[in-house]
């Protein structure tokens, strides 16, 4: 941590059904750990809920992070990742260069300097008496220009720096900003001049195909800005009631892990947790299995534990819609998923691995095969229509088809 880092900040939360936040407590840096302490006024509320269990039970006194963690996962989930951290670092320094290191700042600084319209239903303030949101306002074109300048290492003007503020609170490594379109609240994922393949449209076709095979996936659409592709993703952590927010936790948090321990996250451990703590566990396990199958079918190997999430209402978990379903480049024939699928530790990107792990997801072998067959058939039959919806060019279709999408490797040993 740097000397400029605040020692602590107040945590505000939107309770279920509320349109305004209340102070839940405070986080403070104590040595290498960040402790959480519920406020007395919050604990006295009849509608108070734990921010997440078992991490932060409703009780007085400081709560230390779980074993191996520096901060409670539900707090970390609300913070910025690579892109947001780089924006904040650039706002402080004026620009980025090859020596810029996001590790120069600590998590509390990133939490208090990122935008307030963050994922989920938490925010962070220096004050416990009044809530003042940190919101930037700019057009998509202005934000796209600012993102380009930041990535090129150019100095940002105060106006351009503010233009990027709202996107700092959204996780992920790629440039993105937040937009509003009437009643819709959107995440805009921006293309980059350094993209090695059409990443934005690849994700667009992945999300389109996901909905077509019957997955519960976020709504998306492709547009253009300054002649470049932009993927608009409808937010599912907001409700139709203006001002309401929904608490959200990542699978990494649910499994009690952080980024350094993320390699230990597995689908079968997540399946066990679903059986114990989720609403509608049978339906949820079937959906999770179908998502694993789909990731293999479209070549999305970036299916790590931060790319899965659940809603938390203070009592139980419910699987959130799928997101970040983006076909990835592959350097060879054989690839692996980010998390092990079966209890044998297998994560090879073959559909046979899913079929052999069916019982983990409370499915029979025949049910698993039916899900696999249905997805392969629909993806094959509707590829052209999905590619049209994602605005893929003829060359881009050739880049994706049977390289990422339905690569022959996935069928081996089936």
pLDDT of residue 137: 64
Ramachandran angles phi, psi of 411, nearest 5°: -90, -10
- Write phi, then psi, for 200 (nearest 5 degrees): -60, -50
Query: Does 323 have pLDDT greater than 60?
Result: yes
Q: How confident is the model at residue 90 (pLDDT cuts 50, 70, 90)?
A: confident
Cβ neighbours of residue 332 under 8 Å, at least 6 residues apart? none
Residue 1's pLDDT is 39
Look over the chain and give the mean of its residue pLDDT values, rounded to a whole number.
91
- 401-413 per-position pLDDT tens digit: 999 999 999 999 8
CA distance linking residue 151 with residue 219, whole number of Å: 28
- pLDDT tens for 329-370 read 988 889 999 999 999 999 999 999 999 999 999 999 999 999
Please report, rounded to a whole number, the percentage of residues in the chain having pLDDT higher than 90: 71
* CB-based burial, 80-110: b 16+ in 10 Å, e otherwise: bbebbbbbbbbbeeebbeeeeebeebbbbbb
Q: Sorting pLDDT into bands at 50, 70 and 90, what band is 159?
A: low
Please give the helix or strand (H or E) that residue 125 lies within, else none. Answer: strand 122-125
Q: What is the mean pLDDT of residues 75-98?
A: 81
Q: How confident is the model at residue 153 (pLDDT cuts 50, 70, 90)?
A: confident
CATH number of 140-234: 3.30.200.120
Instruction: Give the dihedral sign, CA 222/227/228/230.
Output: negative
222-237 per-position pLDDT tens digit: 998 878 899 999 999 9
Q: Which pLDDT value is given to residue 2?
A: 44
> Considering the entire predicted model, what is its pTM?
0.93
Greatest Cα-to-Cα distance within the chain, rounded to the nearest angstrom: 62
CATH of domain 248-411: 1.10.1070
Q: Which two tokens stand for residue 298?
A: 């479209």
For the chain, percent of residues with pLDDT exceeding 70 = 93
Domain boundaries, the chain: 8-125, 140-234, 248-411
Residue 102 has pLDDT above 80, yes or no: no
User: What whole-number distance in Å separates Cα of residue 167 and Cα of residue 169?
Assistant: 6
Instruction: Give the confidence band of 155 by pLDDT, cuts at 50, 70, 90.
Output: confident
Per the structure block, which two tokens stand in for 5? 């880092």
User: Is residue 166 pLDDT above 70, yes or no?
Assistant: no
54: preceding bond cis by omega (within 30 degrees):
yes
Cα angle 204-80-38, degrees, rounded to a multiple of 5: 130
What confidence score (pLDDT) does residue 48 get? 98
pLDDT computed for residue 3 by the predictor = 45
What is the pLDDT, as a whole number, of residue 264? 95
Range from 75-84, 167-176, 247-256 carrying the lowest mean pLDDT:
167-176
Looking up tokens 């009690």, which residue turns up? 256
- Whether 210 and 294 have beta carbons less than 8 Å apart is answered as yes
Q: Quick one: which of 309, 302, 319, 308 has its CA closest to 173?
A: 302
Interval 19-65: pLDDT, tens: 999 999 999 999 999 999 999 999 999 999 999 999 999 999 999 99
């Amino acid at each position: 941590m740097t000397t400029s880092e605040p020692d602590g900040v107040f945590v505000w939360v939107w309770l279920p059904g509320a349109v305004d936040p209340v102070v839940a407590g405070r986080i403070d840096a104590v040595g290498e750990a960040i402790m959480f302490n519920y406020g007395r006024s919050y604990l006295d509320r009849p509608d108070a809920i734990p921010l997440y269990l078992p991490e932060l039970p409703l009780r007085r006194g400081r709560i230390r992070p779980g074993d191996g963690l520096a901060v409670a996962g539900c707090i970390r989930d609300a913070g910025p990742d690579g892109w947001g951290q780089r924006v904040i670092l650039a706002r402080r320094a004026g620009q980025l260069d090859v020596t810029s290191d996001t590790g120069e700042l600590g998590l509390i600084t990133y939490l208090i300097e990122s935008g307030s319209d963050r994922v989920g239903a938490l925010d962070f303030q220096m004050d416990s008496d009044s809530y003042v949101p940190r919101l930037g306002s700019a057009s998509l074109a202005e934000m796209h220009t600012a993102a380009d300048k930041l990535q090129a290492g150019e100095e940002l003007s105060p106006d351009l720096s503010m233009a990027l503020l709202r996107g700092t609170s959204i996780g992920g490594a790629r440039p993105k900003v937040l937009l509003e379109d009437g009643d819709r609240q959107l995440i805009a994922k921006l293309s980059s001049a350094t993209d090695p393949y059409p990443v934005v449209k690849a994700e667009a076709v992945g999300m389109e195909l996901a909905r077509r095979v019957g997955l519960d996936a976020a709504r998306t659409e492709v547009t253009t800005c300054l002649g470049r592709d932009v993927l608009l993703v409808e937010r599912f952590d907001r409700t139709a009631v203006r001002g309401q927010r929904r608490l959200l936790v990542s699978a990494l948090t649910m499994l009690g892990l952080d980024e350094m321990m993320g390699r230990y996250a597995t689908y079968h451990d997540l399946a066990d947790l679903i059986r114990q703590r989720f609403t509608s566990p049978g339906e949820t396990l079937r959906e999770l299995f179908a998502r694993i199958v789909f990731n293999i079918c479209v070549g999305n190997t970036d299916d790590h534990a931060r790319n899965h999430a659940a809603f938390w209402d203070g009592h139980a978990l419910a699987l959130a819609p799928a997101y970040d379903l983006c076909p990835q480049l592959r350097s060879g024939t054989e690839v692996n998923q980010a998390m092990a699928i079966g209890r044998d530790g297998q994560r090879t990107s073959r559909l046979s691995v899913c079929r052999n792990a069916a019982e983990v997801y409370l499915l029979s072998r025949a049910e698993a095969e039916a899900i696999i067959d249905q997805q392969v058939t629909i993806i094959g039959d509707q590829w052209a229509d999905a590619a049209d919806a994602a605005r893929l060019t003829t060359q881009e279709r050739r880049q994706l088809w049977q390289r990422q999408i339905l690569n022959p490797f996935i069928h081996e040993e089936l």
